Structure 1
């Protein structure tokens, strides 16, 4: 018994080693709590053993699933001893989804109770993704394309609803196991090219293009299709997948259009030939007209250029006249300025001479008054001299009287002492009066001499003043004449300046007009040159059109002949 138990243990270890080599393995308690897991499982989900032991299986599932009734029932069934296997989506530690092909197997104890749940799994994420992508692709093809599958010999194995609908079949059973030739006419299927077509597909060559096929009723169906060989792992072609689009309407429209065009082109080619002949005649007429216009425009251009040169010369002469007029205007303005200054100075000189004349007249009047005053002074001096003479006589008489009184007082003795004193004082006064009279007489004599000199000077000054007054009057008359002449010159200069300004403005207007004429002449010349060039180019273009017209006429004739031959052959 012991040996049997040991043998089972050894077998179990081998089995576990085999599982650990290629499979992901994990153990759960009946409640779903994790008991153990191998390295493959931990690596697949991205955890370490310590991170998962003791935690519930729900850590590997999305929350929407773990909170559902199905998830609870899943673990209730396992705890009840029901196994569960299939494809399961789980969540890695990173949150990434992973697909597992797994088997949940309950393990019973000796009493027949579930002791634990063993899960053995393998990752199939890539396979599921490929399958899903294939399903998505097939769904996309089924939505808008017709698809049919054949074996390498051409027998039909599968077809989608779009293909069946295009060819008028109600179910796959109507065409399954039949050959592709049911869609073709006998002329094609009996040809070598049809046999080669399927032989090349069986060898793995892809075919694509437009193909004419027949539906269930024998009506034409045009497809744009791609025949793609599918190989197995041994590189052998195992089936042919055909994906196609119905282009029947387009092909039929093109055929109808070709038929319409064939008839229409025949009609149009006839009209084109006739129109080309008529157009060639019109083009010749246009060429003659354009050549005449080109010649006339060339002459106009030459005349415009000559006019432009003449106008340039006139403009140059007017500019020279304008420059000379500007100089004249400038000189006239300068003369006017000088004349204005001269007028002011002449007026100031006349006023000054008038002032001198007035002053000389006043001096002359003052001289006469002075002479009169001096004459009066001389007369008074004479009168004073006479009075002084009288006073001198009186002083002499008073001195004699005082002398006599002194004598009489001496004779009187003591009684005449007082009188003698008076007589003495009178005598002294008389003597002083006489001395003063002599001094006054000397002064008066000196004054008389000076008055005589002043009279002579005043007389001479009076003559000079009268002469100066005459000269000042002559100078005033001369300044009056100068002022009148300067005023006349000023008026003439103003007229010259006004005339020069008018001449300058007239020349400016003429220059501006000439400049406009120059611009117009240059534009006319340039326009004539451009027009001449354009007519030359037009003439050349008409020549090209004529050549093209002749060629078009030739082509129309050739087209007419070709279409006529086609119609005859049909």
Structure 2
């Protein structure tokens, strides 16, 4: 072994120290302070790091790099007392302020340099910029805090033993922390699953460092089912080997139940309706069996084709069709009746809705159409409309006939009222004739009485004439003249008696005929009375018929109006259907 003189060894040690200091100066930020904290020197690394020139820092105090609050704190005074007065070493991570005001984090050592008298001559600071690491760690810690606040988190060793868990995990599973730490993960699983090979493979893959992500069924403390969206994350040590597993989980029990319900509804729609999907340009992406059966296509015949294959060619070339797809691409939905063309050219009427589906940013990316076959219903409505039109025409004819009946009824009503007046006049005339006959009979009776008196006078005269003839006969010649007169008087009395008897017979015959005429007049009056009553009844019936006929006319006109409205509505609906199909 080569030996060196003391001078040579000192020279070599000095050279090595210089090399070391030079290496430190190139790699570290270095600054020197007086014991009271005033700056003596700073290397380029430090100056570049803090943004100052040498002239700006030499002679200034160390507080130049601190906030005013930190510099005024007692701990700052204690810090320099420890370095400058006691000569004690200090090492830590420090926050300092650069010239431009930004925060600079340093991992530094403050090294007091002692003189021969044991007193501090200066303090040398060696520093490394750890600002980026500090910010990265702060961000990482913030993210962990955010995850801890928002998600259930648990840690396991590689065998599945619980190491710790946060409050969210404990609340989700219903356990206090002391009841799960030290126990195996299988406590959260269905016993059959925990005994399965799949569960053993699950932990074997985690132990090998494989990341696991998915939805998992777990059991809470009360036995209720909990579904979680979780990731199992193996944590690696410095050598890259797994040493524990951190689990982040979100309780998706409610959303899964909603999704199951939603999927059930979708499946129900799939079973009951025709469903087809399009991209925003109108190309067919998918179609269910109901849609294929409705339109008569096979799936391979339809997928990739444009929606226009299902439409009338005249409609496809229209501006309305272009606007229809432009509106769907903007997110507008349509629901209406549409006429489409099946594979064999048949018209198919559907009650359909075109529904734009939005992505996570709220932008449409496809269109789903739900449809129900209403061809039979549309054809039935068309048939009903035709029948309604025919019925309207028939009722219009009926309306004309009823109008004629109304006019005739009004004429009959007028004639009945005229007849009624005439019957009443006839009744009054017969009444008047009856009264006249009664007056004539009374006059006949008076005449009969007078004739009776005349007859009695004639009888007395005849008797007197007979007596006078007797007396004349007794008188002989002297009574001859008187006898002639008496005989003439007797003859006249006999003629008067005969005339009286004839008058009596005529009067009796007249009375009999008057009585017969009175009876006939009474019967005629009664007949006219019944005729008048019948005419009144007939008039009332005709008036009722007229009223009922006019009401029927109003009803017929109302029915015509309703049928016309129905026909107009059916026509408007058909026009809307035609417009919708275009």
Output the TM-score relative to the length of structure 2. Answer: 0.44
**The structure with more helix, counted as a fraction of residues:** 1
**Highest relative contact order (Cα 8 Å, sep 6+), 1 or 2?**
1
